[in-house]
Amino acid sequence: MAALKSLFLLSLIVFIFTSCSLLKSYNHSIVDDLIVNPASKGHQKIIDGILSSKKSVWMKMYHLTNPDVIDALIFAHNKKVDLKIILDSSSLLEPKFKKTFEILKNSGIEVRGSSNCFSVTHEKSIIIDSETAFITSINLTRSYAETRDFGVVTSNQEIVKEMNSVFISDWQNAISNTCQTPSLTAKNLIWSPVNAEDKLVDLIHTAHTSIFTTVENLGNKKIEQALTEMASQGIEIKMIVPQCDKNKNPLFNYPFINRLSQGNVDVRVMPHPSSKDRPYMHSKMILIDERRAYIGSINFSNNSILRARELGIVFNDEDAIQKIDEEFTRDWRVSIAPVPLKQGFCPELN
């Protein structure tokens, strides 16, 4: 019995030491602004960032169709700002996204389809003048009025420098159809397909009281195991996912919802159809102990974590954390318990 107690205490000490070490590794006060959608002004903060550019705008975007954003990019190009845009190549097979590509190209803007070495380039990021970065879950389409999304604006130079480095690599990847990634050292950044699985699992393991999370797609076993493991230790875990996923299989999440629920994770769904008050859960967010957060483009699916180009950020900034907590509380109130759904319940998403 004494040996078991000693082993337990040793394990606890190792866990606490590891958690504290990980927390200390995150830089503090890195969030200049937090973007929250739905918002009445839509993508205005992003548009303002583009319009304010003096030297360069480098963008990686999964979906881009918002004409106001496109006009802002053309305006910046016309005042001799260096524009480089990477759009997801698989999405360019769809006419509405190909149209954006052609508009930008015909305006003289340097635009490339992403490397097919990545399953998709799902990252949604912008670097302004090599000084300010936007790291978001936000597609630049017109769906912002009924979609939950978050974005961080930061001028932290360690972060901006690494994003610049990866952009340059992906700009070349787009030509050579490779998926090279330079050395990564920014502690607050999470990159797929390089370190996302390990960093997200490590983040989950830092929780002492609670984990609140919203995400669009599930399926990665290590994330699932980390969540159920923490639930078994008495950590309060709340998760919101879409009732109807915008996927070829809109009920894609349900097998994973069932497993998580069996593992004492409190999973709810945001009812379909979406609205401003019940927004589609597109955000990829983890709130740990209501003290630190992850947001970005990375879903909890194998494709997103292991095969796609994605980007997320971890931070401790109190004002941003409080706002995310408030939005999660609001979403939790209007979400519902998952119930079995029949094929065809989400006909327009099939």
State how far the Cα of 246 lies from the Cα of 262, in Å rounded to an integer: 25
Fold of 189-345: Endonuclease; Chain A (3.30.870)
Dihedral sign computed on CA atoms, order 266, 272, 274, 280: positive
3-state secondary structure of 86: strand
pLDDT digits 0-9 by tens, 13-67:
444 454 555 555 666 789 999 999 998 888 999 999 999 999 999 999 999 999 9
pLDDT digits 0-9 by tens, 243-288:
999 988 899 999 999 999 999 999 999 999 999 999 999 999 999 9
State how far the Cα of 320 lies from the Cα of 293, in Å rounded to an integer: 9
Q: Which CATH number fits domain 33-176: 3.40.50.300, 3.30.1490.20, 3.40.50.620, 3.30.870.10?
A: 3.30.870.10
Query: Is pLDDT above 60 for 5?
Result: no
110-113 vs 82-87, strand pairing mode: parallel
* pLDDT in the model for residue 337: 97
State how far the Cα of 213 lies from the Cα of 240, in Å rounded to an integer: 6
- The amino acid occupying position 325 is D
Beta strands in 195-235 (DSSP E): 210-214
pLDDT digits 0-9 by tens, 144-194:
999 999 999 999 999 999 999 999 999 999 999 999 999 999 999 999 999
Q: Are 129 and 53 in contact (CB under 8 A)?
A: yes
Q: Are 150 and 157 in contact (CB under 8 A)?
A: no
3-state secondary structure of 297: coil
280-281 vs 147-154, strand pairing mode: parallel
State how far the Cα of 230 lies from the Cα of 224, in Å rounded to an integer: 10
Query: In the chain, where are the structural domains located?
Result: 33-176, 189-345
State how far the Cα of 257 lies from the Cα of 265, in Å rounded to an integer: 9
For residue 7 the two structure tokens come to 């082993």
The 3-class secondary structure across 123-185, one letter per residue, is CEEEEECCCEEEEECCCECHHHHHEEEEEEEECCHHHHHHHHHHHHHHHHHHHHCCCCCCCCC
Q: Are 137 and 300 in contact (CB under 8 A)?
A: no
- Tell me whether the CATH fold assigned to 33-176 matches the one assigned to 189-345: yes
Q: Are 66 and 137 in contact (CB under 8 A)?
A: no
- The amino acid occupying position 15 is F
